[in-house]
Amino acid sequence: MSTKVETHIHVDLEHIQTIIQEYWDDPHFSEILSNFPKELPFQYKVYHQNLDGLILFNDPSGRD
């Protein structure tokens, strides 16, 4: 029998905006943001951007 474990994190809107602004100061994430398509789906290589603007990594199983 396997057990499924999920983690849910709640971050308020102010913190989300701070994280998104900091992406542009990071060399890795600023390149990713520059290469995201301008319309859905917001996917670039192994990353995607949710509707809040956060960048999520897709692991090999396809999970965020």
The pLDDT of residue 2 is above 70? yes
User: So what's the pLDDT on residue 42?
Assistant: 72
pLDDT tens-digit profile of 12-44? Answer: 889 889 999 999 999 988 988 888 877 767 777
For every residue of 1-64, DSSP letters joined together read ------------HHHHHHHHHHHTTSHHHHHHHHHS-SSSS-EETTEEE-TTS-EEEPPTTS--
- Confidence grade of residue 63 (pLDDT, cut at 50, 70, 90): low
Helix 13-23 to helix 27-35 angle, to the nearest 10 degrees? Answer: 90
Q: Is the pTM of this model over 0.75?
A: no
